[in-house]
């Protein structure tokens, strides 16, 4: 129990301090990448990538899958309700005196 309390308190102390340490590495990496980009040679032929085309999702995917999920959910809920109506009702009987 003492180990858990120690680890938990250490976690609580170090959590706010972690972003402070992370900022130093970001600045160093940015300066190193800037220096590396200056040293790269210029390519002879620049190949431009065509813009990404947004594909239209097929109507079966857009309508049949959500409809199937909705029907399956309704079937499961209907089965649960029927189970409780039939089984739980017969479980206990009221005896009149």
pLDDT in tens, 34-47: 566 677 777 788 88
The pTM of this model reads 0.38
Residue 97 and residue 84: Cα distance in Å, rounded? 27
The dihedral through the CA atoms of 76, 80, 82, 87 has a sign that is: positive
Give residue-wise pLDDT tens across range 7-30.
566 556 666 655 555 555 555 555
């Amino acid at each position: 129990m003492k180990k858990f309390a120690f680890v938990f308190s250490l976690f609580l102390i170090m959590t706010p301090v972690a972003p402070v340490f992370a900022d130093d590495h970001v600045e160093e990496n940015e300066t190193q990448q800037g220096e590396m980009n200056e040293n790269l040679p210029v390519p002879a032929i620049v190949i431009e990538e065509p813009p990404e085309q947004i594909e239209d999702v097929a109507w079966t995917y857009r309508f049949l899958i959500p409809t199937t999920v909705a029907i399956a959910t309704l079937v499961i809920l209907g089965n649960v309700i029927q189970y409780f109506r039939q089984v739980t009702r017969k479980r206990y009987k009221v005896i009149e005196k």
